[in-house]
Amino acid sequence: MTETGVVTILFTDLVGSTQLAAEVGDRAADEVRRLHFAVLRSVLADTRGEEIKTLGDGLMAAFRSSVKAVECAVEMQRAVDRAGRRPGQNVLGLRVGVSAGEASQED
């Protein structure tokens, strides 16, 4: 029998990435996405989340603690905001959704 437990899932979405690609081209937009994921992964590691997968310009992560998931969401938004304030950078936003419930783990 598969073991189940309460898990909190966090989803992110990079706001403005489609417009960015249209403005600067695919190569430059891919570099922004790589840097974006580096920022998200750094925060994720600090808050003990587990990356499940990436979804285009978003990330899906799991947490054993709902408090840590919300802390991660706030810190991710702050980090993306700081990164977007550098001179010459396009301003991008980050949407974050968090949901908690009982789930079972598969491979």
The C-alpha angle 76, 79, 81, rounded to 5 degrees, equals 105
pTM: 0.85
> How far from chain centre, in Å, is Cα 107?
22
List the chain residues with pLDDT less than 50: none
pLDDT at 90: 59
